[in-house]
């Protein structure tokens, strides 16, 4: 059965402590449902898996097919919530070496507009070289500097390669339905457009066209992704905390925060989940870090980072807790063979498989960290596939909303990110600043 299993045994949080939040969680549950009805609020993601435009969904699949037929590369231009969700899902569900595979059924997915490094852009131009490519530029506001600059550069490249007419048919714009510079440009140039609904903020938008077009182009089944999210929408709709694992996670992290565990580290033992962690960091960091409050969301890839961050986690400041993502069954496995000479001393593992070793590393690490006063929350999924990832995305989105409400912040705004922009525009002498 498709589910996210939450295990709080090693979290140092008791069921009794959790259930003290029963009434307040019920209140936030109802508040969230009410806010979802308000088109001027940012809670449209709550019912998105059952309430999305089927027409646009079909157009997304058609566009993905067209891109796969005419392009070797899809360049996804966007930053923050306008690219992290797509990248998280694509990397979780495709080969770690996807961009090196020569025999291809789907275009390479490359990313731009998420930094201001000239090296990055020049190297990307070189990597695209003579390959056929299309662009999906994604910006809800339509005015964000990083993607706007990247789009200007790559649009020029596309137009000089194909001419203005053909370039036009290779540009896909995902933006606001009515406003913003990108919307205006798309209208004027006649680019194909997809909409980021008004009532869904960037970091909650992965299951809209923002994520779905790049994800579909990479060959991932977006019907299954949405189905996983739909099942999560149904499962985590129970207002009773006692039966809602998603809400229990939200409460447990708040209880830990109150006991001065102010940093949460999301831990994976699967490198494919690296960008999922980046997406999760943005979701929780931007939603909760305000009013001088909020758990600091960090992430590690184990066992890799056990050899870099492991020391700190075991023995540094004791303000940490971990949330470990456990994948029960890897897609593939490797058996460790016996060796006659056994010079590397590994014959004690002969006959075992690599996932068994990975799991033992996980168990040993959890034991060590819990002993070292780092509480562990364990979240298990059965496998990495479309349904499960869709389910997990929804699980974390809803937990984030409830968690932020328990914390006493508005999880859906991000006033803090404007500060750096004001300074930067002033320094760049942008008119009006």
Among 7, 24, 53, 141, binds ligand PA5 (CB under 6 A): 141
Among 44, 107, 201, 297, binds ligand PA5 (CB under 6 A): 201
Among 264, 270, 278, 286, binds ligand PA5 (CB under 6 A): 286
> Is the four-CA dihedral 168, 170, 176, 181 of positive or negative sign?
negative
197 binds ligand PA5 (CB under 6 A): no
By C-beta, is 140 or 183 nearer to ligand PA5?
A: 140
Cα 79 → chain centroid: 12
Does the active-site annotation cover 421? yes
Nearest alpha-carbon partner for 132 in 73, 75, 217: 73
Site for ligand PA5 in 319-358 (CB under 6 A): none
Cα–Cα distance measured from residue 201 to residue 217, given in angstroms and rounded to the nearest whole number: 23
Does the active-site annotation cover 307? yes
Least distance from C-beta 83 to ligand PA5, angstroms?
8
Nearest alpha-carbon partner for 363 in 253, 297, 269: 269
Among 6, 35, 67, 81, binds ligand PA5 (CB under 6 A): 81
Backbone phi and psi for residue 76, each to the nearest 5 degrees, phi listed first: -95, 115
288 binds ligand PA5 (CB under 6 A): no
Residue 404 structure tokens: 């932020």
Least distance from C-beta 44 to ligand PA5, angstroms?
13
- 5-7 vs 73-77, strand pairing mode: unpaired
Site for ligand PA5 in 242-281 (CB under 6 A): none
Least distance from C-beta 264 to ligand PA5, angstroms?
19
24 binds ligand PA5 (CB under 6 A): no
140 binds ligand PA5 (CB under 6 A): yes
Q: Are 374 and 306 within 8 A, CB to CB?
A: no
List all residues 6 or more positions away from 73 whose beta carbon is below 8 Å from its beta carbon.
107, 108, 109, 110, 128, 131, 132, 133, 134
Least distance from C-beta 165 to ligand PA5, angstroms?
27
Q: Which stretch binds ligand PA5 (CB under 6 A): 6-14, 77-85, 150-158, 350-358?
A: 77-85
How many C-beta atoms surround the C-beta of residue 63 within 10 A? Answer: 21
Q: Which of 105, 178, 292, 307 is catalytic?
A: 307
How many C-beta atoms surround the C-beta of residue 85 within 10 A? Answer: 31
Q: Which stretch binds ligand PA5 (CB under 6 A): 85-93, 196-204, 337-345, 381-389?
A: 196-204
Residue with tokens 């006033």: 415
Q: Which stretch binds ligand PA5 (CB under 6 A): 26-34, 134-142, 228-236, 256-264?
A: 134-142
Q: Where are the beta strands (DSSP E) in 78-221?
A: 108-112, 133-139, 171-175, 192-195
- Contacts with ligand PA5, 351-390, as mask; x by CB under 6 A: ----------------------------------------
Q: Which stretch binds ligand PA5 (CB under 6 A): 5-13, 66-74, 135-143, 376-384?
A: 135-143
Among 107, 147, 214, 404, binds ligand PA5 (CB under 6 A): 147
203 binds ligand PA5 (CB under 6 A): yes
80 binds ligand PA5 (CB under 6 A): yes
Nearest alpha-carbon partner for 396 in 262, 203, 215, 255: 203
Q: Which of 91, 192, 245, 286 is catalytic?
A: 286
Least distance from C-beta 231 to ligand PA5, angstroms?
25
Does the active-site annotation cover 286? yes
How many C-beta atoms surround the C-beta of residue 427 within 10 A? Answer: 9
68 binds ligand PA5 (CB under 6 A): no
Q: Which stretch binds ligand PA5 (CB under 6 A): 80-88, 102-110, 163-171, 377-385?
A: 80-88
207 binds ligand PA5 (CB under 6 A): no
Least distance from C-beta 199 to ligand PA5, angstroms?
13
- 133-139 vs 73-77, strand pairing mode: parallel
Cα–Cα distance measured from residue 143 to residue 153, given in angstroms and rounded to the nearest whole number: 15
Cα–Cα distance measured from residue 155 to residue 102, given in angstroms and rounded to the nearest whole number: 26
Least distance from C-beta 182 to ligand PA5, angstroms?
8
Residue with tokens 């067209």: 66
Q: For 53-144, where are the alpha helices, taking DSSP H only?
A: 54-70, 84-93, 118-128
Cα–Cα distance measured from residue 69 to residue 410, given in angstroms and rounded to the nearest whole number: 43
404 binds ligand PA5 (CB under 6 A): no
Residue with tokens 């807790």: 321
Q: What angle do CA 395, 408, 370 make, to 5 degrees?
A: 60
User: Would you please indicate which residues are annotated as catalytic (active-site) residues?
Assistant: 286, 307, 421
Q: Name the site residues for ligand PA5 (rule: CB under 6 A).
A: 79-82, 139-141, 144, 147, 201-203, 286, 414
């Amino acid at each position: 059965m498709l589910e996210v299993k939450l295990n709080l045994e090693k979290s140092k949080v008791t069921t009794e402590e959790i259930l003290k939040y029963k009434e307040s969680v019920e209140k936030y549950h109802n508040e969230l449902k009410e806010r979802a009805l308000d088109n001027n609020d940012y809670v449209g993601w709550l019912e998105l898996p059952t309430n999305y435009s089927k027409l646009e969904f079909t157009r997304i699949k058609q566009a993905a097919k067209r891109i796969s037929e005419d392009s070797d590369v899809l360049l996804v231009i966007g930053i923050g919530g306008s690219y992290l969700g797509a990248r998280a899902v694509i990397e979780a569900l495709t080969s770690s070496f996807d961009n090196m595979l020569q025999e291809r059924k789907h275009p390479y997915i490359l990313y731009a507009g998420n930094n201001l490094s000239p090296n990055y852009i020049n190297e990307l131009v070189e990597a695209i070289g003579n390959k056929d490519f299309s662009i999906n530029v994604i910006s809800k506001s339509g005015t964000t500097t990083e993607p706007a600059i990247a789009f200007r550069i790559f649009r020029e490249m596309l137009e000089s390669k194909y001419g203005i007419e053909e370039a036009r048919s290779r540009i896909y714009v995902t933006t606001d339905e009515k406003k913003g510079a990108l919307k205006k440009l798309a209208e004027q140039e006649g680019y194909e457009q997809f909409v980021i609904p008004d009532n869904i903020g960037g970091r909650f938008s992965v299951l809209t066209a923002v994520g779905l077009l790049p994800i579909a182009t990479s060959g991932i089944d977006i019907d299954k992704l949405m189905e996983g999210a739909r099942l999560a929408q149904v499962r985590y709709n129970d207002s009773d905390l006692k039966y809602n694992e998603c809400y229990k996670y939200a409460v447990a992290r708040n209880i830990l925060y109150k006991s001065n565990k102010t940093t949460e580290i999301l831990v994976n033992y699967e490198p494919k989940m690296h960008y999922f962690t980046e997406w999760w960091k943005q979701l929780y960091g931007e939603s909760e870090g305000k009013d001088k409050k909020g758990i600091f969301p960090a992430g590690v890839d184990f066992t890799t980072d056990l050899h870099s961050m492991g020391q700190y986690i075991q023995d540094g400041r004791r303000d940490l807790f971990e949330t470990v993502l456990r994948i029960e069954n890897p897609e593939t496995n490797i058996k460790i063979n016996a060796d006659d000479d056994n010079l590397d001393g590994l014959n004690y593992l002969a006959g075992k498989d690599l996932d068994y070793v990975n799991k033992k590393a996980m168990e040993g690490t959890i034991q060590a960290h819990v002993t070292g006063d780092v509480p562990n929350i364990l979240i298990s999924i059965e496998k990495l596939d479309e349904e499960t990832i869709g389910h997990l995305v929804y699980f974390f989105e809803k937990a984030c909303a409830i968690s932020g409400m328990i914390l006493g912040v508005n999880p859906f705004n991000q006033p803090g990110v404007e500060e750096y922009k004001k300074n930067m525009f002033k320094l760049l002498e942008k008119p009006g600043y």
